[in-house]
Chains A and B, each alone.
Chain A
Amino acid sequence: MTDHKMTDLTKGYPAKDYKVIGKPVPLIDSRAKVTGQALYTDDIRLHNPLIIKILRAPCPSANILSVDISAALALSGVKGVLTGADFKNNFGVLSISKDEPAIARDMVRYMGEPVAAVAAENAEIAAHALRLIKVDYEITEGVFNSKEALKPTDHPLHPELNKKNNLHKEILQEFGDLDQGFSDADVVIKKRFRFASINHGFTEPHATQVQIDNKGNITVYSATQVPHYLHMALAEVLEIPEHNIRVIKPHLGGGFGGKSDPFPHEMIAAKFALDLGRNVKIKFDREEVFFSHHGRHQTDLTMKLGYSRKKGITAIDLDTLIDGGAYGSFGIVTTYYNGVLLQGPYKLPNFRFHVQRLYTNKPMCGAMRGHGGVNPRFASEVLLDMACAELDIDPAESRLNMIHKENTLTTNEFRVTSVGLHNGLTEAIKRTKWKEKHGKLPFGTGIGVACGFFISGSALPIHWNKLPASTVRMTIDYDGGVTVYSGAADIGQGSDTMLAQMAAEVLGQPLENIKIISADTRTTPVDLGSYSSRVTFMAGNASRNAAIRMRRILIEAACDLLEMIPPEYDRPDAPDNFFRQGGRKPDFEQGFLGANPDYADGFIIEDGLIRSEKHNASVTYLDAVTKALEFGGILQTSGTYRAPKLGGKFKGAGAGLSPSYSFTAFIVEVTVDPETGFIKVDKATCAHDCGFPLNPLAVRGQIEGCIHMGLGQALMEEMIYDSGATQNPSFLDYKIPSAFEQPEVDIVPAYSDDSEGPFGAKEAGEGILAPVIPAIANAVYDAIGIRLTQLPMRPDRVLSALAKEREKNQEAGT
């Protein structure tokens, strides 16, 4: 029987008498979900909606000569047909690459691209109507891989860019002295690595419903991670004022980055609703999800790494081609992240990266869990392992010695604040009996290590402005109930629960007293969305700050009732960064840790009472609320988060800047069958430094989920294309690992307390993923002595590598 006990992830932390924070709390919407009551987008029932279906291009590259919709329009029950001509403005999540039309206009750029859409009284009619649309395609020669896309051409995918090739973005950055770095090294290794594109595989297919009122206002219910960006894109594409649009994200069945762009079907649905004055509904088939993709970029990279016994890694030189597919999506950010995220978790004094993102005639790639950092991380962690093997150094020890110290600047001027990796990895080494195993296990079994590093939210918004990155509104009603309004999108990761925890802790309320209203652009203040692991850090801080303000109001009201002089809060109206350290400014230089509000005012809210410790007097919480309400009739505060000024002064310095970074170490144990090439991951031990774990249960869930996804990318997942045509757009053919493949997981605490994170917390959703994969590869090397440089590490690749290795050894032997 499995052991149900869980490691206490808060072990090692200074005792804190939090009531809600740091406790394992099931997500607050669990009950709705476990009974089937939670409504996801497609579960909502609008009055008499039209059903939308999209006609998708059956070819990856073509000119559209004509689209004849007359027969479809004439079909009884069809209410409208849209084509590319109906949309003037393109869109894109990044303001610097708005290159995607809602419906292809003159050109098809990937197979499965929308070329027309139908709205009809029911699904059968809509499907029938699609068959009646005649599209005249002139098939053109497509570009299907990055290398080809680099070649000059007179017919690029995006003629509007006025370029003579298909290069979307190129970045070359160099820090330190690369030559010096390599000459300092005891060993220099260079290798080429290849990575298949992979899909998010979220379980809920894309869906959108639009409700229209009789004044032309639309409410867009959509399965999106970014209601705010969707809101902006809709206004731009539809050319209507933003206030006519309300975007609501219902329960969301997984995102992982795959729902973090505005999508064509969202534009199409909204346009139909506006044009036809009817509610509308669209839901994707699974194959449409795969055709739309937006997954992790297919990558072809060459990395050179220098390593010195004394200094650790001395230099990395990275040259990468990433295959972006047809449109921009988050691609420019991906391009940067491929390079800059190598700045941790170790010191990296000399560093160059050259990344090129190409347009090809394939479904676009974009953000996916571990955005941009996953593939280069695989390369650097495998090369590091090779260097250690060559110099006969323990790869785990070696890593321990190179980890960033707390409160340092990286070579490209990232500000690293808290680092809990050292103690975490040390503990993992102990717990796994690494020293007794590594290099000592019998042939076929192995153990490997790898580490990772990730941002806790991008410090810069993707549309530059001076507004806070996240704002939370908080109210308390006559009945004492607290409501938190946040634009943050709970995508299953549990952000609503986290926001509630913040409020509950500061206001001394049980979690049940906190209600969350989130991700509704009409009622909730702006949050930029659930991407780049920003929500806990940013929305979390905003919620906490709103609660601190609220608490002050309640304490003052209590004092009024108790006829006491209220505490003198230093600056009650100070901007939110004032609250960061319970009154003290975060002082990175001085290495100040412990971002917890000190309740130095001498009051405690608990059990429905507000108590003055000093005077041993109390009033009920409800009386204080009533008193506070006397003044304005409503009780409301706001809290914000904005990242401090960070980063260097060079071009591109903003990429990868984050107020804080998470760190992860994995030790993975595998069994490899040398006859079949099957790799079985037996156990994964994870030390993830997410600062103070606000909700150990949620952190554990994120870790186990990342292991699952990493395992998939490592061993079996891959988007298969044949001349641009997606070959495996189904859950049968796209191989997502089952429960049988998931290893046993052990989680060891990795203590840190972030000076700026809410209650010391950092991200726990994405950074965990990247090191899973190289840890497996390094364990495979330990097991059978081969280095795999291509993902997925399919059994046939294992066997080929083994055969080559044998050949080599034989040659060496003769």
Chain B
Amino acid sequence: MKLLNLTINGRKHTKAVSPSMTLLDFLREELNLTGTKNGCDKGACGCCSVMIDDKPMLSCLLPALEAEGAAITTIEGIAKGNALHPVQEAMIEMGAIQCGFCTPAMVINGVHMLAKNNNPDDDEVKECISATVCRCTGYNSIEKALHLAASKMRRAAHDGS
């Protein structure tokens, strides 16, 4: 066991972990943050995406200890209280959620993309979700949702300035 210090959704954690434990298992099993899903455990489904220092990465491909000192955002940290992120709102509105197993990862990746660029073209949107498997929706509605979220965010940015 080794000591791990990191910040998750704004909260600091210090915990002893087994060196071979992945960040995904750490989140799910040690911290009970079960919103991050395990779909393949080998880097090929994207369901375990979390933001590490503001970049989406696959938590199944990372020893937890690799996240020492990092700031991590999981799906549980995206909404601000009851206020959903525009990506979350748009996903609901567009019917981009069916079984929902891929949804947390889609949100994480979408939020990241739009934070960098709130006016993405079709290819950028596809790229953003291209490595997260969704077997239910065929991706069309998720793409629409991300475009919708982008326009919401553009409007908000415009109104704000």
List A residues at the B interface (Cβ < 8 Å).
1-2, 4, 24, 26-27, 29-40, 42-43, 45, 200-205, 251-254, 256, 283, 285-286, 491-494, 697-698, 700-701, 704-709, 730-732, 736, 738-740, 742, 744-745
Is B19 an interface position by the 8 A CB rule? no
Q: Are A33 and B100 in touch, CB under 8 angstroms?
A: yes
Contacting A at CB under 8 A, from B66-86, are 74-76, 78-79, 84
Residue of A253, A286, A744 near B100 (CB, 8 A) is A253
Q: Are B138 and A708 in touch, CB under 8 angstroms?
A: yes
Q: List 14 A-B contacts (CB under 8 A).
A: A4-B144, A27-B95, A30-B100, A36-B75, A37-B76, A251-B99, A254-B99, A494-B98, A701-B95, A704-B138, A704-B141, A705-B136, A708-B135, A740-B127
Q: Are B99 and A26 in touch, CB under 8 angstroms?
A: no
Q: Are A34 and B140 in touch, CB under 8 angstroms?
A: no
Residue of B38, B125, B136 near A492 (CB, 8 A) is B136
Across-interface contacts of A708 in B (CB, < 8 A): 135, 137-139
CB-nearest residue of chain B relative to A36?
B35
Q: Are B97 and A745 in touch, CB under 8 angstroms?
A: no
Residue of A1, A205, A697 near B147 (CB, 8 A) is A1
Q: Are B138 and A742 in touch, CB under 8 angstroms?
A: yes
List B residues at the A interface (Cβ < 8 Å).
28, 32-45, 47, 74-76, 78-79, 84, 88, 91-95, 97-104, 107, 121-122, 125-127, 129-131, 133-144, 147-148
The 8 A-B pairs of least Cβ separation, nearest first, read A36-B35, A492-B99, A33-B100, A253-B101, A708-B138, A704-B138, A36-B75, A43-B34
CB-nearest residue of chain B relative to A1?
B147
Q: Are B148 and A4 in touch, CB under 8 angstroms?
A: yes
Cα distance A29–B34 in the bound complex, in angstroms: 16
Cα distance A744–B94 in the bound complex, in angstroms: 16
Give the shortest distance, in Å, between B29 (CB) and chain A (any CB): 9
Q: Are B97 and A2 in touch, CB under 8 angstroms?
A: no
Across-interface contacts of A36 in B (CB, < 8 A): 33-36, 74-76, 78, 104
Cα distance A447–B142 in the bound complex, in angstroms: 26
Give the shortest distance, in Å, between B118 (CB) and chain A (any CB): 13
Residue of A29, A204, A492, A709 near B37 (CB, 8 A) is A204
Residue of B91, B99, B104 near A491 (CB, 8 A) is B99
Q: Are A26 and B95 in touch, CB under 8 angstroms?
A: yes
Q: Are B39 and A731 in touch, CB under 8 angstroms?
A: yes
Cα distance A701–B144 in the bound complex, in angstroms: 12
CB-nearest residue of chain A relative to B76?
A36
Q: Are A697 and B103 in touch, CB under 8 angstroms?
A: no
Q: Are A204 and B40 in touch, CB under 8 angstroms?
A: no
Across-interface contacts of A40 in B (CB, < 8 A): 34, 37, 101
Q: Do most interface residues of chain B lie in helix, strand or loop, or is the interface mixed?
A: loop
Residue of B92, B97, B140 near A742 (CB, 8 A) is B140
Give the shortest distance, in Å, between B95 (CB) and chain A (any CB): 4
Q: Are B130 and A740 in touch, CB under 8 angstroms?
A: yes
Q: Are B101 and A254 in touch, CB under 8 angstroms?
A: yes
Q: Are A37 and B40 in touch, CB under 8 angstroms?
A: no
Q: Are B137 and A705 in touch, CB under 8 angstroms?
A: yes
Give the shortest distance, in Å, between B31 (CB) and chain A (any CB): 12
- Quick one: given A700-B141, A701-B136, A705-B135, are A203 and B148 in contact (CB under 8 Å)? no
Q: Are A732 and B42 in touch, CB under 8 angstroms?
A: yes
Q: Are B97 and A738 in touch, CB under 8 angstroms?
A: no
Across-interface contacts of B98 in A (CB, < 8 A): 27, 254, 492-494, 701, 705
- Quick one: given A4-B148, A33-B97, A38-B100, are A732 and B44 in contact (CB under 8 Å)? yes
Give the shortest distance, in Å, between B2 (CB) and chain A (any CB): 16
Across-interface contacts of A251 in B (CB, < 8 A): 99-100
Highest count of chain A CB atoms <10 Å: which of B33, B130, B134, B147: B134
CB-nearest residue of chain A relative to B145?
A4
CB-nearest residue of chain B relative to A251?
B100
Give the shortest distance, in Å, between B91 (CB) and chain A (any CB): 5
Across-interface contacts of B36 in A (CB, < 8 A): 36
Cα distance A707–B136 in the bound complex, in angstroms: 10
Give the shortest distance, in Å, between A182 (CB) and chain B (any CB): 39
Across-interface contacts of A43 in B (CB, < 8 A): 28, 34
Across-interface contacts of B39 in A (CB, < 8 A): 203-205, 253, 286, 731
Q: Are B100 and A29 in touch, CB under 8 angstroms?
A: yes
Residue of A203, A254, A745 near B138 (CB, 8 A) is A745
Given A203-B102, A251-B100, 12 other A-B residues pairs in contact with their CB atoms under 8 A: A30-B97, A35-B79, A36-B34, A36-B78, A204-B39, A253-B37, A492-B98, A732-B42, A732-B44, A738-B131, A740-B130, A742-B139
Q: Are B135 and A34 in touch, CB under 8 angstroms?
A: no
- Quick one: given A27-B98, A203-B99, are A254 and B44 in contact (CB under 8 Å)? no
Residue of B34, B92, B101, B139 near A203 (CB, 8 A) is B101
Across-interface contacts of B37 in A (CB, < 8 A): 40, 203-204, 253
Q: Are B75 and A2 in touch, CB under 8 angstroms?
A: no
Cα distance A742–B84 in the bound complex, in angstroms: 28
Q: Are A2 and B126 in touch, CB under 8 angstroms?
A: no
Q: Are B38 and A42 in touch, CB under 8 angstroms?
A: yes
Across-interface contacts of B103 in A (CB, < 8 A): 33-34
Across-interface contacts of A697 in B (CB, < 8 A): 94-95
Across-interface contacts of A256 in B (CB, < 8 A): 135
Q: Are B92 and A34 in touch, CB under 8 angstroms?
A: yes
Across-interface contacts of A33 in B (CB, < 8 A): 97, 100, 103
Q: Are A731 and B42 in touch, CB under 8 angstroms?
A: yes
Q: Are B40 and A731 in touch, CB under 8 angstroms?
A: yes
CB-nearest residue of chain A relative to B146?
A2
Q: Are A2 and B95 in touch, CB under 8 angstroms?
A: no
CB-nearest residue of chain B relative to A252?
B99
Cα distance A159–B143 in the bound complex, in angstroms: 52
Cα distance A455–B64 in the bound complex, in angstroms: 49
